[in-house]
Amino acid sequence: MNILLLGYGKMGKIIGEIAESRGHQLVGKINIENRNELEKLDPSRVDVAIEFSQPDAAFDNISWAIERGIPVVSGTTGWLEKKPAISALTLEKNTAFFYASNYSIGVNIFFKVNKFLASLMKDQQDYRARMEEVHHTEKKDAPSGTAITLAEGILGEISSYKNWKLSDGMDENEHLLYIEAKRIDPAPGTHIIRYQSEIDDIEISHTAHSRKGFALGAVLVAEWIKDKKGVLSMDDFLSF
């Protein structure tokens, strides 16, 4: 399979290494310094584009590929206010767009554990939920896309929380789910959900030991999506 990498930072390089180890060809490695090479690239040579760039570049990168009928697997966070436009363009061009805030199989299992725990806690008024996420200092957005997905899972089950908010140290509104974001090196990613009461605490967490789990998941999805159409997600891929 011929893969175009849109974004060639630390994650892009790991994705490229894994893709080549699985027998795929890299037909382009695009970053901010060589984006002009896209205009020279023959879209017919590309089976799938994998997009892990930056929040301010994601929309243009994804649009470029979708406009040319190239299926896209994206993991960039911090740009999702424009996702409805990408979804509409995907359907218009009859191709495929796959987005996940995290491609780790373990994290996606954690998403489901989080929702299940929230469903058990929805009537437990003595407990207050809050979240913490820790990433490396080069991560541009806060909170992480994974943290937002986890927060949305809780909001979908516990109606007393009206929205999530990045913690500013003044966490007083009982109707907001607060997320504390820390940037510490080296830290591929840790996410913690706590339910606290005067009597006890309940806590679940996921800690990534490297970026390889995220990168492998993205390549596996790229292999899966090659001949599919529509706007897809990890629920479609995992089907459990």
Q: What are phi and psi of 108, to 5 degrees?
A: -70, -30
Exactly one of 24, 135, 191, 206 is catalytic; name it: 135
Do 135 and 216 belong to one domain? no
**Apex 224 CA angle, 223 and 226, nearest 5:** 70
Do 116 and 90 belong to one domain? no
Do 37 and 127 belong to one domain? no
Do 17 and 69 belong to one domain? yes
Q: How many domains does the chain have?
A: 2
- Say whether 139 is catalytic: yes
Do 87 and 120 belong to one domain? no
Please tell me the distance from the alpha carbon of residue 31 to that of residue 6, in angstroms, as a whole number: 7
Torsion sign across C-alpha atoms 101, 104, 108, 110: negative
For residue 38, the one-letter residue type is L
CATH number of domain containing 140: 3.30.360.10
pLDDT value of residue 240: 47
Do 216 and 98 belong to one domain? yes
Do 173 and 216 belong to one domain? no
User: How many residues are given for the chain?
Assistant: 240
Do 82 and 113 belong to one domain? no
Per the CB < 8 A criterion, the answer to whether 67 and 93 are in contact is yes
- Contacts with 27 (C-beta within 8 Å, 6 or more apart), sequence order: 2, 3, 4, 41, 45, 46
Exactly one of 139, 182, 206, 209 is catalytic; name it: 139
Please tell me the distance from the alpha carbon of residue 9 to that of residue 62, in angstroms, as a whole number: 17
Do 109 and 79 belong to one domain? no
Q: Residue 77 is part of which domain span?
A: 2-103+212-238
Strand 176-183 relative to strand 128-135, pairing: parallel
Could you report the per-residue pLDDT of 107-162, keeping only the tens digit for each? 989 999 999 999 999 999 999 999 999 998 888 788 998 999 999 999 999 999 99
Helix axes 145-155, 105-121, angle to 10 degrees: 30
Per-residue pLDDT of the chain (240 residues; tens, 9 = 90+): 999 999 999 899 999 999 999 999 999 999 988 999 998 999 999 999 999 999 999 999 999 999 999 999 999 988 999 999 999 999 999 999 999 988 988 998 999 999 999 999 999 999 999 999 999 888 878 899 899 999 999 999 999 999 999 998 888 899 999 999 999 998 878 999 999 999 999 999 999 888 888 899 999 999 999 889 999 999 899 874
DSSP label of 38: G
- Say whether 136 is catalytic: no
Do 60 and 115 belong to one domain? no
3-state secondary structure 81-123: HHHHHHHHHHHHHCCEEEECCCCCHHHHHHHHHHHHHHHHHCC
pLDDT value of residue 84: 97
Strand 128-135 relative to strand 190-196, pairing: antiparallel
CATH number of domain containing 41: 3.40.50.720
Please tell me the distance from the alpha carbon of residue 119 to that of residue 103, in angstroms, as a whole number: 24
pTM: 0.79
Do 8 and 94 belong to one domain? yes
DSSP label of 32: T
Per the CB < 8 A criterion, the answer to whether 207 and 189 are in contact is yes
Do 39 and 72 belong to one domain? yes
For residue 126, the one-letter residue type is D
Sheet containing 128-135: order of strands: 163-166, 176-183, 128-135, 190-196, 201-207
